Amino acid sequence: MWSKKTILLILLIPFLTMMPSVEKNLTVSRAVAETREKLNRKLFEAIKMGDAELVEELIEKGADVNARDKNNYTPLLRAVSRGDLKIVKILIEHGADIKAKEKFFGYAPIHIAAMKGYTEIVKLLIKHGADVNVKDKYGDTPLHLAALEGHEDVVKLLIENGADVNALNARRWTPLHKAALTGKVGVARILIENGAKVNVFGRSKETPLHLAVMRKHKKMVLFLVKKGADINAKDIRKRTPLDYARVEDLKKLLQKLGGKRGSEIF
């Protein structure tokens, strides 16, 4: 009759014989992980250099197209930031996640492309399923960002592909608020022609006209009034656009416009 100790040793024999193999597999796994990490670093470097051939070569060797760098950007986010259409195409063809966001602002690739005015990249991202109404951490859509920067071609492209012209961000601002803030009259015209509300209120009851006056954008003020902006609209502080007019000629202009309809002025 075998003792308990003998039985235990017999049961452990298969596991003991496997130990060298397990250790070997762990060593191989670590080596593979280290190799992948090096390839990923080289991939980001190749994108920075704009070397499309090297990017493709590194991917074929095993670089991860959805890796993250120290700033939490993916290769696609980096390539889009650089406006490198060729590398963007390569990454997408190899399975790059077009919806992956960076962590600081919550930008998806289409946010960055829209903000920087990269029309062809925006077009490519939409073709591969990018959401034109995706929101960042502050509720901004790609259209908000394109409107802010005045990229008219991108604004048109986004609207043609279903972007909401009255989308609200965390401050309850629409893309028209953004255009008014920076005085982008061309963008404002496109937005209004496609259904943007002129007398829309933000979280503090500010209208696009309030913002245009605050930023002293005279042409935007004139344009918005022509399109029916309410000169007497009051924000949360009960102030009208006139109350925010700090430049004398703008103040006189608003006083002149006060009580008149846009159609009576122009």
Q: Where are the alpha helices (DSSP H) in the chain?
A: 4-49, 52-60, 75-82, 85-93, 109-116, 119-127, 142-149, 152-160, 175-182, 185-193, 208-214, 218-226, 248-257, 262-265
Q: Which of 249, 194, 173 is nearest to 216 (CA)?
A: 249
Confidence (pTM): 0.84
**Looking at residues 154-171, what average pLDDT do you find?**
99
Q: How confident is the model at residue 264, as a pLDDT?
A: 44
**Looking at residues 246-264, what average pLDDT do you find?**
61
**Looking at residues 115-138, what average pLDDT do you find?**
99
Range 22-97 classified under CATH 1.25.40.20? yes
CA 264 to chain CA centroid, nearest Å: 40
Map out the domains of the chain as residue ranges. 22-97
Mean pLDDT of the chain: 89
**Looking at residues 102-128, what average pLDDT do you find?**
98
Return the higher-pLDDT residue of 10 and 202.
202
Does residue 230 contact residue 221 with C-beta atoms inside 8 Å?
no
